[in-house]
Amino acid sequence: MNPYVVALTYAVVATVVIAMVFAIFKTPYQLWEVVLAAVVGAALSFIPTVGGVASLAGTLGILFWRLGGGHATDIFVSVAVARLVMVPVLLMLNRH
């Protein structure tokens, strides 16, 4: 699969899912912070060999920087759910 498609898909899915989980947890956030974290994560996915880990660390790092450590559980859960949702979305895109 094209790495640009994977990165763009990650940016979109992460933005939507993280914002939804934050809304469920009533976590105070601004949409631009979530978009920034998702775009940074997507951009870091292009790094050879360690892109997956760098992407995860970048997304978490931006959210911790913007929201603070007081929302650690919300951040970890939202990013984990976004990563899990990526699997069926990428599988669906790969079929077509």
Q: Which of 1 and 85 is assigned the larger pLDDT? A: 85
The predicted-structure confidence for 19-65, as pLDDT tens digits, reads as follows 999 999 999 999 999 999 999 999 999 999 999 999 999 999 999 99
Question: Domains of the chain: which residue ranges?
Answer: 3-95
pLDDT at 84 over 80: yes
> What single string gives the DSSP state of each residue in the chain?
--HHHHHHHHHHHHHHHHHHHHHHHT----HHHHHHHHHHHHHHTTSTTTHHHHHHHHHHHHHHHHH-GGGHHHHHHHHHHHHHHHHHHHHHHHH-
